[in-house]
Amino acid sequence: MALLSLLGSESLTSVILVGLCFGATILASYRLFKHPLSKTPGPTICCLTSLWMHYHIYIGDEATRITELHKIYGPVVRVAPNEVCIADGAALAPIYVEKGGFPKAECYRNFDIDGFASLFSETSKGIRAPKAKSVTPLFSTTNIRKSEQLLTAAVGRFVARLRRERSKAMLANGDVDVLVLTRGLAIDAVSSYLLGKSYGALDEDMEQVPAKSTDGKSKLSAGEFVDAFVGVGRFFYLPNWIFVVVELLSGILYGTQEAVESMSKVDQFVTDIVKEAHAGDGSFPGCMLQAGLTPKEVAAQCKDLLFAGTDSSGMNLATFCWQLARNPDVYSVLKSEITDAYSMNPSGFDSMTLPYLRACVREALRLSMANPTRLPRVVPSPGWTFHSEGQTHHFATGTIVSVQMLTLHHNPAIFEDPYSFLPERWLDTPKEALQLMLRDFIPFGAGSRQCIARNLAMLELTLASEALIADGVLEGVRPVHDKLNLIEWFNSHVKGDEVLLKWEHGTSKQCL
């Protein structure tokens, strides 16, 4: 009986294995030859499984690998069994802009916070619309500029802090991590304007716990909070149910006390803000409360706001500083423009009107890569037909399509010498070519679902850039490293967690 039982068990195992192999063969054959995307060019491994792409997402070179695939296969590439990526700016309008754009893919729900869909992660246009409408006036250029003094005050604290850190570094023949300071400005600016109270990052002693990280480097108290959210990006494209399991295991296996303390401090800050807010008070939480959201959901929305505003704006301004350090000729031209502006307008001027400054900011945003990877959308019924480089591609309902910033912003057909920091390209390019550059310029995304705080981010970056030059704190600065190496998750992460600058001695004078 035991022998029969063993033979029966082995037979059952064999049947299961044969069945699995047969099923896998059928599935592979379908994906290669019968799937609606079977005629779309791409590596065989990507046509068969999404595992290859998930691997490159996890290790952080997804955007670079996809760009390489475009060089081999053309502007339309199949990157997963049911997904294509498009390296043609003509696809931006139909995917992201026209009629509100295609619906967001379900993977965006992996960025929900505390069980609530944020303005960013919500995939339903109908559910998101009233929430977004309640706060949209806060993000208009007119209203932001009415409270510009809040941003100016934060910028002033940032420049003063950078000058102090620079002095200490020069005395010790050391360097300064400008990224930690630009993040400090970003979180203080967004909290001051939208929440009605500054987080106070630029006033922190970054040598004290919990601001200091596990690797001994100085960080903001909110730094681990931001980095934890950035780290989620390595799992962004996973199916929702798998993401929940992976996130839970990651927290158990890799969570740190510093991260817990950082999260706790941000939670307390947000909780206090929401408690003090009331419907109709004009603040971000007040507008959300007036729209009928519960205090817990409002707190989640505020945390999402703090993360997005800190990470992206901090990265963009750090990139601006690093690029000026690498390009002293650009710094010199920009310094002359700002000096002349002060000479002609001693009482002040509008930084947004300076053409070379605007060009420098735009070029920094082109190269910053705060969000370098795909922005996936789902093709609605009845499907979508796209024409590119003489080829016609039809995508069935339910196909996931995307465009990514890294590929568009480094396309030599649109941006000549794409890896160089050349602000002049935004001033000297003929009109027709400039229109294509502007079309493919997507530092904040595109369409109705692009970054809701883009106007605030642009003004903050411009004011800070002008103040840095006017103060002279960047005189004599040089980058410690010749290249910024990024981990290409949904939100990019600088390898080494720092952007280091170093100053030559005898360069402490102000420009103006």
Q: Rounded to whole angstroms, how far apart are CA atoms 425 and 437?
A: 9
Token pair, residue 475, equals 């005189």
**What φ, ψ does residue 28 adopt, rounded to 5°?**
-65, -40
The percent of the chain in helix, strand and coil, each rounded to the nearest 5, is 60, 10, 30
**What φ, ψ does residue 422 adopt, rounded to 5°?**
-130, 85
Token pair, residue 217, equals 């480097």
Q: Rounded to whole angstroms, how far apart are CA atoms 259 and 223?
A: 9
Within 49-193, residue ranges assigned H as helices are 51-59, 62-73, 92, 125-135, 141-146, 148-171, 178-190
Q: Contact, 219 vs 211, CB < 8 A?
A: yes
Rg of the chain in Å (alpha carbons):
25
Q: Where are the beta strands (DSSP E) in 182-332?
A: none
Q: How far is CA 47 from CA 27, 33, 69, 212, in A?
A: 11, 10, 13, 45
Q: How far is CA 385 from CA 25, 85, 379, 391, 484, in A?
A: 30, 14, 10, 10, 38
Tokens 């990507």 sit at which residue? 46
Would the annotation count 107 as a binding residue? Answer: no
DSSP string covering 72-121: HH-SEEEEETTEEEE--GGGHIIIIIGGG-SPBPGGGGGG-BTTB--TTT
Q: Rounded to whole angstroms, how far apart are CA atoms 369 and 406?
A: 7
Within 369-447, residue ranges assigned H as helices are 405-409, 425-428, 431-439
Q: Contact, 501 vs 325, CB < 8 A?
A: yes
Residue 391 forms beta bridges with which residues? Answer: 388
* Helices 295-326, 223-232: inter-axial angle, 10-degree rounding: 90
Within 398-478, residue ranges assigned H as helices are 405-409, 425-428, 431-439, 454-471
Token pair, residue 152, equals 């100016």
Cite the annotated binding site by residue number: 451
Cite the annotated binding site for heme by residue number: 451
